[in-house]
């Protein structure tokens, strides 16, 4: 047996699927798992001429051609530290360790520093597309040393999803850049999912539509400018019958959403960087609210009375579609604004157009309009906000009235639409000439002499504010 091209640590479903994908492309993959029985199981269940199981770490490392390339597909957090600490002393300078999990990018930066002490290149590799993507073609976001990337590039480009023949993989930037980009991808994913969920609430409770009609509407929307993986699966979801009873499966699922943390990380990180990602935050909070099942049941009854009704009207469904599209633009605008800020804060040379291009296939947020995002950044590589681009500005103008109408209707009817409402607020914050910040500056100066700037002259001013209403 010759030397293996690449090593995979972690034989759970993501790791074994990715290893199989590599093997299908002719790469000899050394497979290792912390508990050897899992490796044995995978070898038995998926025999492949290019996949070989190794049961000791040293034996696994020795099997690899140099410089060694080792990929982790293990749980984010302490398991990554544990494996890295085990491996570093037995690797050689120039070897590479790549973490393909959803690790927090600051952890990746720290591990990058640690590995560098051994001359080992540590890569944080964002991988999107779930189990199926891993097996058949994910979207890959590698971050680490630029030169070292060239070694693994042929493997990643071979196994990645393809969009218009191009691999959905590109070198992202130094140290934690790959994991950062994946984190924000997930933040956008949260907002996108929330927007779709809100649209379904509107269809059902304002439009009185049946699941079948909703499924058809999503299917229809998926043929046009809203075409995306998430809309496509939602069309399927509403068409699915309950396999354990009558009716529809989606209606039997408890109205309480889980989250593993990447959306929340995005939101916290955006706050730290001073970037408004209100729709991602709204989507996180919507999941938090969904978990309060008892409180919702208790307050639901006492707050339900007295809601108005409105006539959904003829154009209702088209209005919802347009709202969803406008909301989606705002969500991506927020996510990409965060990328732009991160490039400055962390000194990464992020290519925003390329990032949008690799999102076109393989990943969860793959969507038709990502081409338009790439085109926008081709027109202006340093575009401050997507909505400043002529195409997206045009689309916002075209759909804003619908977004406003639908959001107002939802509020009148008492249907919670936090992502849509935040989209309106985000757009209005750009649009409205005054945000009330002058009042805030006056208050800050009043109670804390924080000073303010004037419209008519340069400099900082403090005013001796008078108590006009004493006593
Ligand atoms: C992907 C997904 C993937 C995963 C998330 C879901 O890009 O393939 O984003 O990373 O499905 O972990 O996140 P939550 O469990 O937080 O919804």
**Assigned domain for 438 exists:** no
Average pLDDT, the chain: 96
Same domain, 133 and 18: yes
> How far apart are alpha carbons 362 and 428 in whole angstroms?
33
* Ligand 1 and 131: CB distance under 6 A: no
Q: Structural domain of residue 142, as residue ranges?
A: 6-175
* Ligand 1 and 102: CB distance under 6 A: yes
Q: How many helices (H) and strands (E) does the chain have?
A: 20, 11
Residue whose Cα lies nearest atom 12 of ligand 1: it is: 260
Q: How far is the CA of 87 from the centre of ligand 1 (A)?
A: 27
Q: Which of 186, 230, 291 to mutate to test the pocket of ligand 1 (most atoms within 8 A of CB)?
A: 186
* Ligand 1 and 323: CB distance under 6 A: no
Kindly report the CATH number assigned to the domain that includes residue 399. 1.10.1040.10
Mean pLDDT, residues 83-109: 98
Kindly report the CATH number assigned to the domain that includes residue 52. 3.40.50.720
**Assigned domain for 1 exists:** no
Asked if residues 352 and 339 have their Cβ atoms less than 8 Å apart, the reply is yes
Mean pLDDT, residues 35-52: 97
**Assigned domain for 38 exists:** yes
Q: Is the pLDDT of residue 174 over 70?
A: yes
Mean pLDDT, residues 33-59: 97
> How far apart are alpha carbons 280 and 248 in whole angstroms?
29
pLDDT above 90: percentage of residues in the chain = 96
Which of 205, 185, 188, 200 has its CA nearest to residue 235?
200
Same domain, 167 and 205: no
| pLDDT value of residue 118 | 98
* Ligand 1 and 5: CB distance under 6 A: no
Same domain, 273 and 348: yes
- Of 4 and 309, the structure prediction assigns the larger pLDDT to 4
Q: How far is the CA of 144 from the centre of ligand 1 (A)?
A: 22
> How far apart are alpha carbons 206 and 204 in whole angstroms?
6
Q: Which of the four pLDDT bands, split at 50, 70 and 90, describes residue 314?
A: confident
Residue-wise pLDDT tens digits, 356-379? 999 999 999 999 899 999 999 999
Same domain, 253 and 399: yes
> How far apart are alpha carbons 61 and 160 in whole angstroms?
25
Residue whose Cα lies nearest atom 2 of ligand 1: it is: 128
Q: Is the pLDDT of residue 430 over 70?
A: yes
Same domain, 160 and 212: no
Same domain, 158 and 245: no
Q: Which residues of 421-446 are buried (b: 16+ CB within 10 A; e: fewer)?
A: bbbbebbeeeeeeeeeeeeeeeeebb
| pLDDT value of residue 121 | 98
Q: Which atom of ligand 1 is least distant from the CA of 102? A: 10
* Ligand 1 and 128: CB distance under 6 A: yes
> How far apart are alpha carbons 427 and 408 in whole angstroms?
15
* Ligand 1 and 259: CB distance under 6 A: yes
Mean pLDDT, residues 13-24: 98
* Ligand 1 and 129: CB distance under 6 A: yes
Distances (CA, A) of 291 to 55, 228, 265, 349: 42, 27, 19, 39
| pLDDT value of residue 306 | 67
> How far apart are alpha carbons 88 and 118 in whole angstroms?
7
Q: Which atom of ligand 1 is least distant from the CA of 138? A: 8
Q: Is the pLDDT of residue 304 over 80?
A: no
pTM confidence score: 0.96
Q: Which of the four pLDDT bands, split at 50, 70 and 90, describes residue 1?
A: confident
Q: How far is the CA of 224 from the centre of ligand 1 (A)?
A: 25
Q: Residue 238 contacts by C-beta under 8 Å, 6 or more apart in sequence?
A: 200, 211, 212, 214, 215, 218, 248, 250
Same domain, 387 and 452: no
Mean pLDDT, residues 265-290: 98
Which residues are known catalytic residues?
Answer: 182, 189
* Ligand 1 and 181: CB distance under 6 A: no
> How far apart are alpha carbons 244 and 101 in whole angstroms?
34
Mean pLDDT, residues 125-144: 97
**Assigned domain for 436 exists:** no
Same domain, 199 and 288: yes
Q: Is the pLDDT of residue 235 over 70?
A: yes
Same domain, 198 and 262: yes
Mean pLDDT, residues 92-109: 98
Asked if residues 151 and 140 have their Cβ atoms less than 8 Å apart, the reply is no
* Ligand 1 and 132: CB distance under 6 A: no
Q: How far is the CA of 32 from the centre of ligand 1 (A)?
A: 24
Neighbours of 292 (CB within 10 A): 12
- Among residues 175, 194, 217, which one ends one of the domains? 175
Tell me how many domains the chain contains: 3
- Of 228 and 310, the structure prediction assigns the larger pLDDT to 228
Kindly report the CATH number assigned to the domain that includes residue 464. 1.20.5
* Ligand 1 and 262: CB distance under 6 A: yes
Q: Residue 369 contacts by C-beta under 8 Å, 6 or more apart in sequence?
A: 225, 226, 228, 328, 329, 332
Q: Which atom of ligand 1 is least distant from the CA of 287? A: 17
Q: Which of 12, 260, 286, 291 to mutate to test the pocket of ligand 1 (most atoms within 8 A of CB)?
A: 260
Q: How far is the CA of 56 from the centre of ligand 1 (A)?
A: 31
Same domain, 413 and 460: no
**Assigned domain for 88 exists:** yes
Same domain, 199 and 171: no
Q: Which atom of ligand 1 is least distant from the CA of 190? A: 17
Which of 302, 297, 200, 312 has its CA nearest to residue 251?
200
| pLDDT value of residue 310 | 77
Same domain, 81 and 148: yes
> How far apart are alpha carbons 48 and 21 in whole angstroms?
11
- Among residues 175, 201, 216, which one ends one of the domains? 175
């Amino acid at each position: 047996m010759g030397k293996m091209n690449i090593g995979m640590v972690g034989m759970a479903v993501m790791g074994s699927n990715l290893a199989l994908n590599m093997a299908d492309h002719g790469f000899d993959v050394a497979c290792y798992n912390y508990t050897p029985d899992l490796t044995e199981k995978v070898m038995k269940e998926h025999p492949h001429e290019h996949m070989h199981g190794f049961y000791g770490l040293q034996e696994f490392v020795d099997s690899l051609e140099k410089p060694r390339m080792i990929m982790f597909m293990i749980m984010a957090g302490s398991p990554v530290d544990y494996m890295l600490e085990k491996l570093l002393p037995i690797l050689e300078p120039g070897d590479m360790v790549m973490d393909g999990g959803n690790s927090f990018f600051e952890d990746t930066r720290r591990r990058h520093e640690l590995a560098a002490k051994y001359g080992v290149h540590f890569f944080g590799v964002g991988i999107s597309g779930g189990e199926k993507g891993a097996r058949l073609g994910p979207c890959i976001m590698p971050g680490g040393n630029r030169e070292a990337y060239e070694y693994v590039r042929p493997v990643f480009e071979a196994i990645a999803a393809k969009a218009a023949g191009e691999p959905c993989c590109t070198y992202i930037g130094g140290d934690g850049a790959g994991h950062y980009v994946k984190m924000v991808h997930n933040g956008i994913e949260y907002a996108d999912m929330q927007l779709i969920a809100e649209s379904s609430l509107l269809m059902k409770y304002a439009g009185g539509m049946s699941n079948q009609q909703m499924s058809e509407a999503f299917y229809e929307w998926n043929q046009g400018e809203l075409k995306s993986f998430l809309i496509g699966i939602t069309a399927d979801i509403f068409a699915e019958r309950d396999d354990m009873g009558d009716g529809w499966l989606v209606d039997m699922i408890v109205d309480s959403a889980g989250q593993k943390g990447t959306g929340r990380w995005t939101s916290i990180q955006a706050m730290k960087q001073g970037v408004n990602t209100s729709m991602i935050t709204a989507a996180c909070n919507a999941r938090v609210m969904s978990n309060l099942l008892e409180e919702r049941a208790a307050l639901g009854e006492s707050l339900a009375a007295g809601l108005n009704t409105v006539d959904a009207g003829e154009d209702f469904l088209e209005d919802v579609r347009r709202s969803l599209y406008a909301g989606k633009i705002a969500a991506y605008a927020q996510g990409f604004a965060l990328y732009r800020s991160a490039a400055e804060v962390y000194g990464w040379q992020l290519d925003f157009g390329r990032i949008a291009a690799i999102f076109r296939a393989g990943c969860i947020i793959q969507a038709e309009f990502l081409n338009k995002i790439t085109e926008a950044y081709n027109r202006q590589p340093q575009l401050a906000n997507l909505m400043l681009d002529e195409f997206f500005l045009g689309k916002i103008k075209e759909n804003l009235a619908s977004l406003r109408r639908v959001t107002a209707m939802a509020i009148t009817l008492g249907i919670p639409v936090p992502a849509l409402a935040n989209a309106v607020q985000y757009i209005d914050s750009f649009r409205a000439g005054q945000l009330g910040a002058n009042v805030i500056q006056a208050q800050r100066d009043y109670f804390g002499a924080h000073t303010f700037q004037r419209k008519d002259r340069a400099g900082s001013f403090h005013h001796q504010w008078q108590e006009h209403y004493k006593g």
